[in-house]
Amino acid sequence: MGQRAMAITRGKLSFVFGLVILATLLIAAPAAHAVCKSPKNICEHFDDCLHRTSDPNNKDADDIRAGVKARNGQIVSASAEACARDLGRKQQWDKWARGCSALEFVQIAKVELELGKVYCDRYSQ
């Protein structure tokens, strides 16, 4: 085998090796992020916050809706946390929310907004 053929073979091997590494990273990346441990509790908490009418100054429900509309999990999370404080559930909220991504907050709140609390059971583990 000539030097030119060996160089081409090395180039192909490097390319294939690079593709294998890239594929491994792409497949492993979603599995490496944290997973929401209590989506059912979070869903039910969103429902409680969205249907809370005792306080006329309650902005949490509006903020949760705005966060879902904007697909901004940080707004959804912050609003739900504020609601948890108002309801005296801050410690529970912290346990439920641990490990959840911003995207998961938006997805869970969107399901509750569109389908209602009955669908929180779909998150049963």
Nearest to 106 by CA among 59, 46, 53: 46
**For residues 35 and 73, what is the distance between their CA atoms, to the nearest angstrom?**
15
- What are the domain boundaries of the chain? 1-32, 39-123
Residue length, the chain? Answer: 125
Instruction: For helices 102-115 and 60-69, give the axis angle rounded to 10 degrees.
Output: 110
Q: Tens place of pLDDT for every residue, the chain, 125 residues? A: 666 666 566 665 555 444 434 344 444 334 344 578 899 999 999 999 998 877 777 799 999 999 999 999 999 999 999 999 999 999 999 999 999 999 999 999 999 999 888 888 777 65
Distance of CA 44 to the CA centre of its chain: 16
State the pLDDT at residue 85.
94
83 HSE (CA, 13 A, CB side): 26
Under DSSP, is residue 45 helix (H, G, I), strand (E, B) or coil? helix
